[in-house]
C-alpha cells in the first residue's frame, strides 16, 4: 500500500479544519488506496475524526511555533517505512527543512497545495529562501482557480496544477432548481475583505426588491 503523510504547517489543526481542504485533500487519497497519515499536535478534542475513519493521526507534542520546523525534520528522520507522497498545505517557511530532508532521503514526491489568495501571493517573497527552494523542490503545486494558476505559473516560471475545493458528487442533488429551495443565503466564511462578503450583501440589497416573498 502506498503512503501519504500530511504535515500540519503550524503545529496544530483545529477540530473544524479536519473537514476543510487542508485535511480533506490529503484524505481523498484514501479513495486511491493510500494509507494517509496526518501529523499534527492536539490542542483541543478532534471530534470530527469520526467522519474520517481511514485517517491515521501521528500526534506531535504541542510545541512552540518556532520549534515546529525542526520537529518535522525529526519526524521524518525517525519515520519507519517509505513515504510515497509528502503533502504540505500552504507556502509556509516551516516546511522548508522538512521538504529538503524528504527530497534527500525518501524516494517520493512532494505535493504543495497553496490555498492561494491574491494578498498572500503578493506579500510572500518567493525569491528568497526557504520559499524559492520549496517552489523548486515540490513535484506538484496546486491552486484553486484558473486565474491564480495562470498568474503563478508566469510569476514562478513553473507548472501550477488546478485542484478545486470540491465535494463528493454523490451527495449533490442534481435535480436542484430555483423552484425547490428556501429563500436563504448562507455565507460561511471568515469575515475579511478577501472573502468579498461586502459584495454579496450589497448585491443582494440591490436585487432584493425584485424578488417576491
With 90 as the cut, is the pLDDT of residue 18 above it? yes
All 3 cell numbers of residue 44?
483541543
Report the chain's mean pLDDT, rounded to a whole number.
89
| Share above pLDDT 90 across residues of the chain, in percent, rounded to a whole number | 68
CA distance 149 to 151: 6
128 and 148 assigned to the same domain: yes
- What CATH number did the domain enclosing 120 receive? 3.40.50.2000
153, 188: one domain: no
14 with 99, same domain: the answer is yes
Q: Which of 150, 167, 184 is the last residue of a domain?
A: 167
53 & 145 share domain: yes
pTM: 0.83
Q: 121 Cβ partners below 8 Å, 6+ apart?
A: 114, 148, 151, 152, 155
- Kindly indicate the confidence band of residue 121, based on its pLDDT and cuts at 50, 70 and 90: confident
Whether residues 130 and 115 share a domain: the answer is yes
pLDDT tens-digit readout, 161-179: 998 876 555 555 556 666 7
Cα angle: 120, vertex 124, 126; to 5 degrees: 135
Say whether both 162 and 175 belong to one domain: no
175 and 161 in a single domain? The answer is no
Question: 61 Cβ partners below 8 Å, 6+ apart?
Answer: 41, 71
Residue 18 shares a structural domain with residue 102: yes
| Segment (H or E) for 200 | helix 197-207
Range of the domain at 194: 170-210
What confidence score (pLDDT) does residue 38 get? Answer: 98
Contact between 131 and 124 under an 8 Å Cβ cutoff? The reply is: yes
Please write the tens of the pLDDT for every residue from 19-73. 999 999 999 999 999 999 999 999 999 999 999 999 999 999 999 999 999 999 9
User: Based on the domain organization, do 119 and 175 belong to the same domain?
Assistant: no
26 lies in the same domain as 73 = yes
Overall number of domains in the chain: 2
| Domain identity same for 87 and 37 | yes
Q: Are residue 150 and residue 186 in the same domain, yes or no?
A: no
Collapsed DSSP state (helix, strand, coil) of residue 85: strand
Amino acid at each position: 500500500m502506498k503512503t501519504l503523510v500530511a504535515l500540519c504547517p503550524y503545529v496544530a489543526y483545529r477540530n473544524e479544519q479536519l473537514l476543510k481542504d487542508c485535511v480533506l485533500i490529503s484524505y481523498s487519497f484514501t479513495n486511491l488506496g493510500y494509507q494517509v497519515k496526518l501529523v499534527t499536535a492536539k490542542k483541543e478534542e478532534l471530534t470530527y475524526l469520526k467522519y474520517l475513519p481511514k485517517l491515521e493521526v501521528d500526534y506531535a507534542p504541542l510545541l512552540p511555533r518556532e520549534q515546529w520546523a525542526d520537529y518535522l525534520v525529526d519526524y521524518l528522520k525517525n519515520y519507519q517505512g517509505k513515504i510515497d507522497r509528502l503533502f504540505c498545505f500552504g507556502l509556509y517557511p516551516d516546511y522548508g527543512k522538512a521538504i529538503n530532508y524528504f527530497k534527500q532521503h525518501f524516494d517520493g514526491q512532494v505535493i504543495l497545495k497553496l490555498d492561494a489568495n491574491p494578498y498572500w501571493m503578493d506579500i510572500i517573497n518567493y525569491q528568497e529562501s526557504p520559499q524559492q527552494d520549496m517552489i523548486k523542490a515540490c513535484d506538484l503545486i496546486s491552486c484553486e482557480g484558473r486565474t491564480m494558476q495562470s498568474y503563478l505559473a508566469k510569476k514562478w516560471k513553473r507548472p501550477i496544477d488546478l485542484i478545486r475545493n470540491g465535494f463528493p458528487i454523490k451527495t449533490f442533488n442534481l435535480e436542484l432548481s430555483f423552484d425547490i429551495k428556501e429563500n436563504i443565503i448562507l455565507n460561511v466564511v471568515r469575515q475579511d475583505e478577501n472573502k468579498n462578503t461586502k459584495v454579496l450583501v450589497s448585491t443582494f440589497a440591490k436585487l432584493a426588491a425584485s424578488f417576491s416573498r
